[in-house]
């Protein structure tokens, strides 16, 4: 067979392949369908549980069984995604209405994960069985082949409520994300009814019915006036707060009790909130909190903050809103798959899609039921008619040799091959015109059906069938009747499954608090040779000066409002706020600098440490191992970041020293590892920006590198030891920059 090579542009092929992949992720995995509000993995999991018969009124089954069966039949993308979706559908703190009844450890609101699938069990909730999976046998939705075309799965579930709004959705696709909050079932049903009564209902009118999101964790939405715009456009930010109550304690000490949390705090964020509150206390941002206790349990959230006597409760509440996640934002992006494409939808559009889907479901359901009743009526009419001529039918059966002859007579009146007792019977038989289904039912009819009571029951059943046919035709033929019927169904679901609203919707005042200004004072920064840092009062240092100087490698004074600059050999500058450094007694150990800034002692070495206030007033000399040098203005090194690049380095180079230059410094002396010295005027080193590499200070010998840099004042005397001999730096010959230098004799 001849092969054919198709030439194409690589960029075009990549673009086409990426678009196909992106759309596959968007439509087939990450985004929910606007009709049933479910992602494919959720839909497949629920359908598989339905197929396995794990109903709400039957025993629980192992989650591992459910996951394995779903993966093998419908969702071949790994067990973790299936189990995670199963767990989320069972968590009442994440879903407005749980769809799965979990048995075992399914995680907690505080971020504890669910147990492994081999330990947990599950079954469908009653609402899932009745509202999500009912009528699948009535041809209400299309069934499509699964991934290997060995099974059939529903393209969408026949969900009878707007699940996309009730349970919300979260998902990340390729280049897009969906984030839809949960809502109150009763309010959503009322909004759907309002739309069915008047499709021209405005978004504002719908929002009078749906007050806003209703999160399972409760909380307070504080930007009520912004909700109409959010729901009209399908995007925006909802501001939510936790619910805080004040309880009276002993001795006049109040307690702040947090009973409801923002929905965004579910999981590890509760632990972060507790850490943030503790940090406010440790950094002296507040002195009103005495103790923090997490008393949360299965009954609900209860985080207790014990306050000191006469604490400013309102100011503290506002501080918690401002400084912690107790006030947070929920980003809304109501993106869903509508008509097989992703679309950002407004509240009204979601309801419109749902209502259209309900009419489609009802039309398909009652068309199927009508056809069944018509078939049933046809057979019943045949049996009733047969009862009137039962003697003739028996005579036909007895006079026939084959079943085919009987059917031909009953359906077409063919009597040629049948023996009759009289010619009158033959003439009557020739007039019979039963349909094929009627003839089949007559031949399968049992003799006890000829009892009088059985015939009466058949007549009553036929009357009921005719009534059903009339009702179904009325539903299918009159949209107003269908609307009334659907609204009646919605009322049933509301009465059975709706619950009171949990989230309060209001226009909350902006949280404003008065942050107590720190008392500015001078402190001494002490850093020992192990990299532990602490601050002490100046008077404490002066009383212990001798011990402090002997035990610490770096000592300098600064204000407690200042920042500390850490220059490293990698060319980075790390900042530490002085307030973040432990302040206390002289004998306190302090804390490793690694713990309070981005400095990593395992990968970089400190070159110079000083306060930012000092650095700001200086000119700094930078020198690297390869003898690259420059002078930088200290003001250039001020930044609000925690870490910045203090200088640019060539590949494989590193900073050797950073030195502040005093006004009296005249000369610079370079010293290499091999003992080579070079003295030249400081003015030969140019001023550069921090992003510059600099100029070469001296020519280095092979495998040599710069080790030390000294600054000399005019007429100053300075000596260094090389081996056992002293070298007088001020006696070195003055040369030019970028020369070889002189090797010291030892």
Q: Which ranges in 171-220 belong to alpha helices (H)?
A: 185-197, 203-209
Are the beta carbons of 565 and 585 closer than 8 angstroms? no
Q: What is the DSSP string of 53-119?
A: T--TTS--EEHHHHHHHHHHHT--S-HHHHHHHHHHTT-TTT-SS-SEEEES----TTSPPPPPTTT
Are the beta carbons of 570 and 604 closer than 8 angstroms? yes
Are the beta carbons of 170 and 158 closer than 8 angstroms? no
**For the stretch 478-492, what's the b/e string if a residue is b when 16 or more beta carbons lie within 10 angstroms of its beta carbon?**
eeeebbebbeeebee
Are the beta carbons of 246 and 256 closer than 8 angstroms? yes
Largest CA distance in the chain: 152
Does the annotation mark 119 as catalytic?
yes
What span, in angstroms and rounded, lies between the C-alpha atoms of 76 and 148? 10
CA angle 197, 199, 203 (to 5 degrees): 110
**How many C-beta atoms surround the C-beta of residue 261 within 10 A?**
28
What do you get for the CA distance between the two ends of the chain, in Å? 86
List of residues 6+ apart from 632 with CB closer than 8 A: 619, 620, 622, 646, 647, 687, 688, 689, 690
Which listed residue (74, 83, 119, 532) is catalytic? 119
What span, in angstroms and rounded, lies between the C-alpha atoms of 150 and 476? 35
3-state secondary structure at position 33: strand
What span, in angstroms and rounded, lies between the C-alpha atoms of 310 and 319? 17
What letter would DSSP give residue 5? Answer: P
SS3 content of the chain, % helix, strand, coil (to 5): 40, 25, 35
What span, in angstroms and rounded, lies between the C-alpha atoms of 70 and 631? 67
**For the stretch 366-402, what's the b/e string if a residue is b when 16 or more beta carbons lie within 10 angstroms of its beta carbon?**
bbbbbeebeebbbbbbbbebbbeebebbebbbebbee
**How many C-beta atoms surround the C-beta of residue 452 within 10 A?**
7
Are the beta carbons of 648 and 573 closer than 8 angstroms? no
Are the beta carbons of 525 and 558 closer than 8 angstroms? yes
The CA distances from residue 644 to 206, 573, 598, 628, in Å, are 52, 5, 10, 20
Q: Is 268 exposed, middle or buried (CB count within 10 Å of its CB: 0-12, 13-18, 19+)?
A: exposed
The CA distances from residue 221 to 215, 322, 330, 364, 712, in Å, are 10, 15, 10, 41, 66
What span, in angstroms and rounded, lies between the C-alpha atoms of 437 and 205? 54
Q: Could you tell me the strand order of the sheet in which 628-633 lies?
A: 655-661, 619-624, 628-633, 695-696
Both tokens assigned to 27: 């439509």
CA angle 583, 584, 588 (to 5 degrees): 110
Residue of 97, 71, 101, 246 whose CA lies nearest to 165? 97
127: enclosing H helix or E strand: helix 126-127
Active-site residue numbers? 119
């Amino acid at each position: 067979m001849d092969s054919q090579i198709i030439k194409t542009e690589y960029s075009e092929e990549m673009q086409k392949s990426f678009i196909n992949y992106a759309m596959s992720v968007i439509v087939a995995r990450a985004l929910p369908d606007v009709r049933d509000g479910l992602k494919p993995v959720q839909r497949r999991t629920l359908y598989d549980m339905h197929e396995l018969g794990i109903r709400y009124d039957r025993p629980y089954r192992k989650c591992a069984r459910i996951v394995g069966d779903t993966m093998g039949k419908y969702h071949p993308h790994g067990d973790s995604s299936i189990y995670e979706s199963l767990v989320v559908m069972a968590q009442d703190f994440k879903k407005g209405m749980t769809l799965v009844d979990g048995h075992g450890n399914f995680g907690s609101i505080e971020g504890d994960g669910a147990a492994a699938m081999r330990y947990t069990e599950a079954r469908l909730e009653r609402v899932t069985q009745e509202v999500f999976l009912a009528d699948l046998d009535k041809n209400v939705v299309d069934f499509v082949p699964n991934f290997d075309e060995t099974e059939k799965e529903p393209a969408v579930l026949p969900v009878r409520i707007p699940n996309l709004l009730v349970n919300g959705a979260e998902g990340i696709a390729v280049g897009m994300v969906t984030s839809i909050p949960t809502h109150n079932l009763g309010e959503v049903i009322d909004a759907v009814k309002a739309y069915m009564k008047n499709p021209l209902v405005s978004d504002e009118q719908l929002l009078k019915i749906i007050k806003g999101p209703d999160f399972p964790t409760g909380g307070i939405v504080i930007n009520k006036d912004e909700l109409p715009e959010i729901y009209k456009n399908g995007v925006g930010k909802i501001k939510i707060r936790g619910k805080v109550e004040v309880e009276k304690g002993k001795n006049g000490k109040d307690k702040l009790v947090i009973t409801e949390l923002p929905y965004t705090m579910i999981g590890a964020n509760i632990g972060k909130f507790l850490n943030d509150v503790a940090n406010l206390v440790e950094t002296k941002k507040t002195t009103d909190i005495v103790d923090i206790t997490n008393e949360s349990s299965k009954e609900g959230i209860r985080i207790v903050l014990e306050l000191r006597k006469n604490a400013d409760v309102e100011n503290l509440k506002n501080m918690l809103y401002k400084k912690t996640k107790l006030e947070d934002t929920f980003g809304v992006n109501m993106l869903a798959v509508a008509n097989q494409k992703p679309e950002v939808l407004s509240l009204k559009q979601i309801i419109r899609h749902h209502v259209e889907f309900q009419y489609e479901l009802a039309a398909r359901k009652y068309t199927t039921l009508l056809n069944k009743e018509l078939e049933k009526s046809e057979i019943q009419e045949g049996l009733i008619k047969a009862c009137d001529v039962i003697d003739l039918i028996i005579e036909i059966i007895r006079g026939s040799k084959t079943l085919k002859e009987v059917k031909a007579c009953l359906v077409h009146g063919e009597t040629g091959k049948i023996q009759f007792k009289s010619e009158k019977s033959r003439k009557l038989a020739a007039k019979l015109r039963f349909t094929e289904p009627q003839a089949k039912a007559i031949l399968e009819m049992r003799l006890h059906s000829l009892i009088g009571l059985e015939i009466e029951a058949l007549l009553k059943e036929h009357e009921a069938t005719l009534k059903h046919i009339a009702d179904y035709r009325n539903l299918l033929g009159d949209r107003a009747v269908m609307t009334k019927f659907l609204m009646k169904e919605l009322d049933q679901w509301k009465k059975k499954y709706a619950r009171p609203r949990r989230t309060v919707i209001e226009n909350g005042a902006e949280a404003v608090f008065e942050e107590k200004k720190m008392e500015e004072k001078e402190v001494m920064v002490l850093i020992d040779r192990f990299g532990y840092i602490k601050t002490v009062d100046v008077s404490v240092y002066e009383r212990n000066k001798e011990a402090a100087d002997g035990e610490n490698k770096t000592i300098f004074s600064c204000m407690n409002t200042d920042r500390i600059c850490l220059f490293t050999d990698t060319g980075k500058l790390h900042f530490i706020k002085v307030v973040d450094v432990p302040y206390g007694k002289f004998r306190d150990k302090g804390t490793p600098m690694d713990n309070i800034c981005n400095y990593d002692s395992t990968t970089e070495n400190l070159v110079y440490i000083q306060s930012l206030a000092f650095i700001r007033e200086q000119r700094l000399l930078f020198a690297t191992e390869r003898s690259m040098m420059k002078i930088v203005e200290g003001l250039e090194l001020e930044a609000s970041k925690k870490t910045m690049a203090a200088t640019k380095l060539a590949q494989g180079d590193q900073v050797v020293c950073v030195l502040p230059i005093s006004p009296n410094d005249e000369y610079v002396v370079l010293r290499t590892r091999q003992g080579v010295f070079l003295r030249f005027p400081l003015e030969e080193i140019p001023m550069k920006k921090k992003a510059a590499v600099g100029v070469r200070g001296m020519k280095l010998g092979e495998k040599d590198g710069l080790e030390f840099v000294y600054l000399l004042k005019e007429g100053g005397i300075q000596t260094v030891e090389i081996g056992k001999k002293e070298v007088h730096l001020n006696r070195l010959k003055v040369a030019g920059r970028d020369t070889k230098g002189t090797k010291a004799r030892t």
